[in-house]
């Protein structure tokens, strides 16, 4: 599969069932690097699915204006797009990694800070997958 430098629609979590599995807390893991918290789990991969799928959540109580929430989501997606290679090769062929990024801060952060947090989280997830 191509792990190029694009962020495709199939790399997004759209399945309501998968989202519920991810947040029910029984088989998922969680860690934080301010200003982000990540919840992740591996599930059996379906035919034609991406090895890594993500969801970005910015709560309305953090930013009242949609334009601010959308900017933060863009920053997280871009940081993931540039660093997804850290995970792409670590996921076994028969598994799929589902990741949810949740924004914790009450204010916006500079893009390099967001990118550093995403990179740190992806590296820690990668270590967990290899163990």
Dump pLDDT digits (tens) for 55-80. Answer: 999 999 999 999 999 999 999 999 99
What pLDDT score does 89 carry? Answer: 82
Domain count, the chain: 1
Whether 69 is covered by a domain: the verdict is yes
Query: What sign for the dihedral angle of Cα 91, 95, 96, 98?
Result: negative
Partnered with residue 98 across adjacent β-strands are: 41, 53
Whether 3 is covered by a domain: the verdict is no
Tell me how far CA of residue 99 lies from CA of 21, 38, 102, in angstroms.
11, 7, 10
Whether 2 is covered by a domain: the verdict is no
- pLDDT over threshold 50, residue 97: yes
Whether 4 is covered by a domain: the verdict is no
The CATH number linked to 42 is 3.30.230.10
Residue 108 backbone phi and psi in degrees, to 5: -75, 155
Q: Residue 22's domain spans which residues?
A: 9-130
Whether 81 is covered by a domain: the verdict is yes
């Amino acid at each position: 599969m191509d792990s190029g430098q694009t962020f495709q629609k199939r790399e997004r979590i759209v399945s309501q069932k998968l989202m519920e599995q991810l947040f029910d807390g029984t088989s998922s893991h969680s860690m934080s690097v301010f200003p982000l918290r990540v919840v992740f789990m591996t599930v059996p991969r379906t035919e034609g699915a991406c090895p890594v799928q993500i969801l970005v959540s910015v709560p309305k109580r953090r930013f009242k204006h949609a334009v601010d929430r959308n900017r933060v989501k863009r920053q997280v997606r871009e940081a993931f797009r540039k660093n997804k290679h850290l995970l792409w090769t670590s996921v076994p062929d028969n598994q799929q990694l589902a990741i949810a990024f949740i924004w914790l801060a009450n204010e916006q952060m500079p893009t390099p800070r967001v990118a550093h947090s995403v990179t740190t989280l992806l590296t820690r997830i990668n270590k967990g997958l290899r163990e």
